[in-house]
Structures are given as structure tokens and as C-alpha cells.
């Protein structure tokens, strides 16, 4: 079967970003099908980088927290506990395919300064050459409010630029971008976004599914546009659609990349 999006089938290096609400709490079970999709792409010879949120959300139950903490120290403590557990869950699932995960923790400063930036790029390139799956997250344990990425959607766009990705897949709880929150009357699905489309017709709702994440539709759109301006096309869809997105099916919203000529 021919892929509806040939650019996906032709992509050799893909960055996939998944949010906290998709792989923590009641949705921890979504890690396995996510890994299934990543492993299928890997088996085709694709180099895959996963940008995964979820360290704080994963650590919260072990700190007996019912809601995401507001103070930085407790966020850092939850991240320190949760990052370890999150990597164990990914590796347990990857073991089914004989794949190995590598943890890559970054801060905003790492990508703003040439030496740590080149070090990160070189390390990820080497991991991909060894057919290992890099799993990237913000280093929440040492990040401060002043130097945070703000959300991992932006981190994913910056990582896509760092590694020269052919495609960025942004996963969320919603299957596509809509002209307004999809539960509201009159919401219309947007299938494609041109490189020069400023999306002025789109009304963005409030962020924060289940109170565990920091991103929302606004950050995903901004990050998709950032990646597209850098020359990387983007698929914005739900975590449940990740397999179809990586197979090139016409799911979610396709952000056309700007020409860098």
C-alpha cells in the first residue's frame, strides 16, 4: 500500500514527542503501543529519537502527591524519582524487540551554547549509528524556571533541528488541530497547514490535560511552526494514532515545511 504522505515513507530520521498525560497515570499502558510503533519504524531502518515528557508525573505517586507540585524543589525531586522509573518502563517494553534505550537529558542552556550543543549532537548521532533509541527529556532536576524550555514540544522542535530530522511527530490527547477546542460547537478539523499559514482562524483553548503536563494546543502549534520554518515537516496527532502516523497514513494535521533554498 502506498503511503498517503510520501515524505513520511522517505524519512530516514524521525523525532517523536509524547506528553506526560499520554504515558503516565491511567495512561501508562500506552507506552507499549507507542514502543510497538517506534520499533516498527526502527525495523524499517528509520533512525528514531523519542522526546518524552513524564518524569514529574511518573514520580508524583511515589512522593504521595495528588497534583503537580508548584514549587521548583518538589518538581525537581519528583523528576529525579520519575525519570528513572520512566526509563525502566520504556526499556522493559523495548526488550520485547531487543532494542536498547539511551537517556539523554538536556537543558535550554545546552542547546544555546556551542560546546554542549555539539556534544549533544555528536552523542545522539553516535547512538543512532549504533541503532540505539535515544530518549530525550528536559533535565528537570537541574533546570530552573529561568532556563527551562517551557515545554517539551519546543524541545522536540529544537532536537529535530539539532539532528537534522526529516520529520517531527507531535503526539497529544487530540487527534488533530481544530479551529477551536474540538468539544466546542463549530470546531472544524484542519488537515493541512501551509508553510505561510499564520492560523489566524484558530482559537486555542486552555492547556493542561489531567493537570500533569505543561503544554497544550498553543505550544504544539508554535513548536510545529518552529520546526516547519526550520525545514522539518510535522504531523500533529494523538498518541493512539502514532503507528498510522509513522506508516504515512493521512492522520492528524500535516504542517508543510518551509523551503530552505
* Extended strands (E) in the chain: 13-18, 47-52, 101-106, 133-138, 167-172, 177-178, 189-190, 192-193, 234-238, 253-255
140 annotated ligand-binding residue:
yes
53 annotated ligand-binding residue:
yes
> Using the 8-state DSSP alphabet, how is residue 183 labeled?
T
17 annotated ligand-binding residue:
yes
Given a contact cutoff of 8 angstroms between Cβ atoms, the answer to whether 165 and 13 are in contact is: yes
HSE value, Cβ hemisphere, 13 Å, CA-based, for 233? 22
Residue in 14, 49, 28, 19 with CA at minimum distance from that of residue 247: 14
Nearest-angstrom CA–CA distance, 178 and 176: 6
Nearest-angstrom CA–CA distance, 253 and 234: 8
Name the grid cell of 149: 524550555
173 annotated ligand-binding residue:
yes
| Binding annotation for ATP | 17, 172-173
Residue positions in the annotated binding site?
Answer: 17, 53, 140, 152, 172-173
Q: Which residues are annotated as a binding site for substrate?
A: 53, 140, 152
Amino acid at each position: 500500500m502506498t503511503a498517503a504522505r510520501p515524505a513520511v515513507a522517505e524519512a530516514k530520521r524521525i523525532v517523536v514527542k509524547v506528553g506526560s498525560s499520554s504515558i503516565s497515570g491511567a495512561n501508562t499502558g500506552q507506552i507499549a503501543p507507542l514502543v510497538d510503533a517506534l520499533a516498527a519504524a526502527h525495523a524499517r531502518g528509520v533512525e528514531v529519537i523519542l522526546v518524552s515528557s513524564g518524569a514529574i508525573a511518573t514520580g508524583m505517586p511515589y512522593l504521595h502527591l495528588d497534583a503537580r507540585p508548584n514549587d521548583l524543589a518538589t518538581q525537581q525531586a519528583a523528576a529525579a524519582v520519575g525519570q528513572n522509573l520512566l526509563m525502566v518502563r520504556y526499556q522493559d517494553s523495548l526488550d520485547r524487540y531487543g532494542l536498547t534505550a539511551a537517556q539523554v537529558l538536556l537543558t535550554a542552556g545546552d542547546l544555546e551554547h556551542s560546546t554542549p550543543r555539539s556534544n549533544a549532537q555528536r552523542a545522539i548521532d553516535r547512538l543512532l549509528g549504533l541503532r540505539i533509541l535515544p530518549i530525550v527529556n528536559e533535565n528537570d532536576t537541574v533546570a530552573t524556571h529561568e532556563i527551562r524550555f517551557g515545554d517539551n514540544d519546543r524541545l522536540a522542535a529544537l532536537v529535530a533541528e539539532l539532528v537534522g530530522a526529516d520529520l517531527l511527530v507531535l503526539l497529544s490527547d487530540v487527534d488533530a488541530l481544530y479551529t477551536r477546542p474540538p468539544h466546542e460547537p463549530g470546531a472544524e478539523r484542519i488537515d493541512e497547514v501551509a508553510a505561510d499559514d499564520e492560523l489566524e482562524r484558530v482559537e486555542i483553548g486552555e492547556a493542561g490535560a489531567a493537570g500533569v503536563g505543561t503544554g497544550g494546543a498553543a505550544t504544539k502549534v508554535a513548536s510545529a511552526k518552529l520546526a516547519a520554518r526550520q525545514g522539518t515537516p510535522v504531523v500533529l496527532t494523538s498518541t493512539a494514532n502514532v503507528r498510522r502516523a509513522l506508516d504515512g497514513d493521512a492522520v492528524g494535521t500535516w504542517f508543510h515545511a518551509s523551503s530552505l533554498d
